[in-house]
Amino acid sequence: MFLASVARTCATPSVFGEARASSSAVVEYVDDSIFNLCNSREFTWSSLLHTLKNCGFRFDVVSFEEWLLRLRRSETRGEELVNPAVKLIHHYEMMHGMKSSLMQSGPKRFITEKAERSSVTLRNGRLRIIDDGILRCYAQDWLARWTA
């Protein structure tokens, strides 16, 4: 809420697309300070899992339902410290319950043209998380810290 208020304050006042300084005009704020930042270079869940396995992570690939069941068992054993995902069981269960409605509307697409104009990295498509080894670097660093 606070950020939206700051953004509104910093926005350019305009009426029908033109800047105006009239107190009698209806003022619409065009906010050029907010960008949709998302990676438009998609990758598959299986390629993500394959990369993590290649980095040394050991895990079974199971259905979402089986994973939730295992997570509940982990919670029962009090494994929140070694399995932090346990803390989000309720969130995952809600997501799963909404799965059918989420799938019906299809994947969300964000308009990123404005962000791409302002970012060389976004504009040149240099965010190929798997192909460029970005995930591998993060995963190897995280695994080294986790097992230390």
pLDDT in tens, 40-86: 677 888 898 999 999 999 999 998 889 999 999 999 999 988 888 99
| Domain boundaries, given as residue ranges, for the chain | 45-147
Nearest in space to 47 (alpha carbons), one of 124, 133, 110: 133
pLDDT in tens, 79-121: 988 888 999 999 888 877 765 555 556 666 667 778 888 888 7
The edge-to-edge listing of strands for the beta sheet with 28-30 is: 18-19, 12-15, 28-30
